[in-house]
Amino acid sequence: MPRYRLTLEYDGAPFVGFQRQNNGPSVQGALEDAIEKLSAQRVTVMAAGRTDAGVHALAQVVHFDLEKTYVAEKVRDALNFHLRPNPVSVLDAVVAAPDFHARFQARGRHYLYRILCRTAPPAIDRGRVWHVMHDLDWQAMHRAAQVLVGHHDFTTFRATNCQAKSPMKTLDRLAVEPAGAEIHIHADARSFLHHQVRSMVGSLKLVGEGKWDEARLAAALAARDRTACGPVAPAEGLYLTAVDY
């Protein structure tokens, strides 16, 4: 039974998240429907990460098994045909090793958060950036972000319904940089807690506004208390950009 590995790109706006749910359309559901149309087989797709409602992906990795063997390029092209009109694209398909696992073998996950700083609202990028109507001090945000890099208890930046067994995570990189009218925040780690990136971004925005400083962010981390977190950034600015194996 061959195992297929796909790399996906998708717009998260119309979905309740990657994971199949009863309250609306999901990326997983759309993909599994497309696979069934190709193979007449109902499968369960496993993903590197379960992105939330509204979160986008530039390179999500998934795997699934089929009873029949197909040329990988046919799987890619057929799934792209059957996925229409969903905003999901199979960028790449390969036959993987029988023991490959998209989630458990992932060694690193990379996220990008986009903040648009201008008075006028976005038109082309509506639903794809966090629109902030004033400038933010990206340099202050970057300096403060380094407080969060390393191995810490991230309870403050963890959703109350997070199912991870431990709040301890190692954040390898948290970088803030300008990109024209936007501010880009890059977060790299082996794995993240539920809402961790959006929670960190929301607190960093307060730093960019001059409402918080590095010491305040450090105190919020040390508090290990969800109520010490700033407002959580909206999902629409977040992208899963790459997964390492």
Q: Active-site residues: which are they?
A: 52
Residue 55, both tokens: 């979160």
Question: What is the rounded CA–CA span in Å between residue 109 and residue 107?
Answer: 7
Question: What is the rounded CA–CA span in Å between residue 98 and residue 51?
Answer: 25
Question: What is the rounded CA–CA span in Å between residue 82 and residue 64?
Answer: 17
